[in-house]
Structure 1
Amino acid sequence: MFHIKTFNAIAPEGMARFEDENYTIDQDQAAHGIILRSEKLHGYDFPESVLAVARAGAGTNNIPVEELTKAGVVVFNTPGANANAVKELVVASLLLSVRPILQGANWVQSLEGDNLEEVAEANKKQFAGNELEGKRLGVIGLGAIGAMIANDAYRLGMEVMGYDPYVSVDTAWTISRRVKRAQQIEEIFTTCDFITVHVPLTEATRGLIGEKEIALMKPTTRLFNFSRGEIVDTDAVLKAINADELGGFTTDFADSKLLHNPKILVLPHLGASTEEAEINCAKMAARTLKRFLETGVIKRSVNFPTVEMSFQSPYRITIIHENTPNVLGQISTEIASLGINIDNMINRGRGDFAYTLVDVNVQDDAIMQRVKRHLEGKEHMIRVRTIKNTEVFNEWC
């Protein structure tokens, strides 16, 4: 039996995956899995029972990832599940930045009288704008969102340049060959008419765009931030805009300093605020968490490597351990000393930590508990689980 604790309102389409006899939801404080959206868990007293935390969203800065990693708790996110929602909002913001659509609509609402059509026609020139076609867009970060924006902007007739030194092979295959690749991020700053940022918030990306970077841009460049507020130095943006050294700024992160400026559009964090995105994120988070709890497979984790292996043996041992030499030898030796043959085994490391799956042909629960105790007593071990393959056992019964 697994106990799931939720924070925030998680779409029922996702939580439905836990509606069977093997799960309870928000009924037990000793949770095995946590699923959340924006709740801040820094300072939260995690029960020792927690094996994994799944965020129904891409960013995990509201989760104490480093603390959980040391405790052997796997943290998952849902990259790409809300990508289309964010992409559509960025494309809409690009259009709003060159066409004063909002201003024109608000002005019409202020009109009175019977000759509205004539008045609107006579004054529409004050809301004339520009077109995106032929302009250059720079996309910093070519993950799921950035790649979609790059492709759609090209389809709108824009010249697109992307920068991402860490772009994955899978993502690279999805990007149009007509999207130019910037070798240095400075190429984006110096040549683009529009710049949009789509990178995760880390110590390396905090303040990624500040005074020095803005100084490289054209005075007409429009900057967009739909990643995290801390990635762009808002004081530097204000200084540049007030000095006519930046054409405009659109952000999805409210900051009182940015309000009431005609060159700045502030949105109330609408990026993933669509029904479809919330459902997609909830489904992916629930599916990933459930698979890990039932099989030990790790996919889409932000703190541990991807480790997948077909589960066909009666039992699986999962081990989170320090990524040091000879640990695999210790694991194999300990299992062999108990007279157990290993059917299959896989190991992956990531930084200071590693994850190992070991499948064994054992049918006795007591023996597996003995294996668990022996491994837990070894140096460098952080967390050991044994998982019974219920499908295999049911076939024998």
Structure 2
Amino acid sequence: MFRIRTANKISPIGLDLFPRDRYEVASDLPNPDAILVRSADLHQVEIPETVKAIARAGAGVNNIPIELCSERGIVVFNTPGGNANAVKELAIAALLLSSRKIVDGITWAKTLIDKKDEVPELVEKGKSQFEGPELKGKTLGVIGLGAIGVMVANDATVLGMHVIGYDPYISVDAAWSLSRAVQKADTLESLLRQADYITIHVPLTEDTKGLINAERIKIMKKGARIINLARGGLVHEADVLKALTESRLSCYVTDFPNAELLSNEKVICIPHLGASTPEAEDNCAVMAVQQLMDYLESGNIKNSVNFPHCRLEQRSPYRLLVSNRNVPNMVGQITSILAGANINITDLINHHKDKYAYNIIDTEQEISEDILDRIRKVDGIIRVRAIKK
């Protein structure tokens, strides 16, 4: 029986996928095998020694202590693409909000509530102050061509925009999905020079923190508009606010409000609604649950942020799962121990990601606890687990 602790309210459409004869699911379970989380901050809680995996029903994993998990062999999953359509739709809305002064116009119209019969005339007289350019024919720069970026780029071409995309790490799947109408930028600076609108769809890392800053704003067209629905830290806010004051930028739309941003009339603050649709919550929950089940039952890894993608069809009754530091001769030491115990390997796969590696080893014979302990004692081994089909 696997024990799953939920750290947030998770969509029942996802939770219902857990077979109740094999899984126990609750928010207060002691000694869980895995944790399902949305926004709860796991930096502030003690993660039990029994935890083998954490699945985030969403894309960002800033609320999970990734390095700690990696050192303990805890596989951390996220659900890229599960909320992609929801964020894409909000990005298209943000383009329109940044351009047409819709928010300002609605706010102003509400001030006319006491004018009664004069409202239609006042609207006609006052509407010119909210004039804004159309999107058609303008240039959109999309930074990051993952699941969301590709969808935004494709839909923007349908709106008649000229779209430029930049992503030096674009995946094969994303490239296949990208419209042929989207132009590839060789450098970020090239994109920034050409774009009337810029939308950001990259993860927040040490390399991308403050991606949009004063130096890069100087490259942009005067009056450019920036959309950031990815992560607040991708933008150096002080530099953006200064550029707005100097009219170098026309508008900044963000899904990550704070007091300073809220006080600036050229900033449109959305209250973190990117993935706030029932469909996105359901999709992310389903993906998270399926990935957890596949890992717990079969050892397969898909969409992990700290361990490599690793999948092997199980044809033998016994399976050994080993996570280790990515150093030489680890596979050799593991297989030597198995060979010394007369355990025949029928299939094996080894993949690595940055500092860590993961092995799936199928065998004809069951591996005893004594052999598992010998493997655990090998220098560089992080976690060892055996499962039976």
TM-score relative to the length of structure 1: 0.94
How far does residue 358 in structure 1 lie from its aligned partner after superposition? 0.6
The letter of the residue matching 2:267 is I
Distance of 1:117 and 1:243 partners within structure 2: 35
| CA displacement 1:243-296 (0-9 Å, x = unmatched) | 111111111001111123221101111100111101101110111011100000
Q: How far is 1:375 from its partner?
A: 1.4
Which amino acid is the alignment partner of residue 4 of structure 2?
Answer: I
Match status 1:228 vs 2:228: no
3-state SS of 2:140 partner = strand
Q: Deviations for 1:77-97, whole angstroms, at most 9, x for unmatched residues?
A: 000000100010010010111
Tell me the alpha carbon deviations over residues 192-251 of structure 1, each in whole angstroms, 9 at most, x when there is no partner.
Answer: 100111110110111111111111112210011111111101100111111111111111
2:294 to 288, 291, 295: 291
Partners of 1:209 and 1:32 lie apart in 2 by 40
1:280 to 1:250, Cα distance in 2 relative to 1, 3 A: same
The alignment partner of 1:18 has SS state of: coil
Match of 1:135 in 2: 138
Letter in 1 for 2:361: V
1:102-132 CA-partner distances (Å, limit 9, x unpaired): 3333333333323543443444333332210
> What SS does the aligned partner of 2:117 have?
coil
Q: Is the 8 A contact 1:368 1:386 kept in 2?
A: no
Match of 2:380 in 1: 380
Q: CA deviation at 1:16?
A: 1.0
- Quick check: 1:162 aligned with 2:161? no
Which residue number corresponds to residue 393 of structure 1?
none
| SS of aligned partner of 1:343 | strand
Could you say which residue in structure 1 is the equivalent of 2:58? Answer: 57
Partner of 2:353: 350
The aligned residue for residue 36 of structure 1 is 37
- 1:259 and 1:59 map into 2 onto residues whose CA distance is 23
1:5–1:31 Cα contact (<8 Å) kept: yes
**Structure 1 residue matching 2:304: 3-state secondary structure:** coil
Amino acid at match of 1:42: H
Question: What corresponds to 2:277 in structure 1?
Answer: 274
Summarize deviations over 1:282-315 as a string: whole Å, max 9, x none: 1101110111000000000001110000012111
SS in structure 1 of the partner of residue 116 of structure 2: coil
Unpaired stretches in structure 1, ≥5 consecutive residues:
390-397
> Hey, what does 1:76 align to over in structure 2?
77
State the TM-score, normalizing by the size of structure 2.
0.96
Listed one character per residue, the Cα deviations across residues 374-396 of structure 1 (whole Å, up to 9, x for unaligned) are 2112222111000111xxxxxxx
Aligned residue type for 1:149 = V
Identity between Structure 1 and Structure 2 (%): 48
Match of 2:153 in 1: 150
RMSD between superposed Cα atoms in Å: 1.4
Superposition misfits of 4+ residues, deviation over 2 angstroms: 100-112, 114-129, 367-371
Structure 2 residue ranges without an equivalent (≥5): none
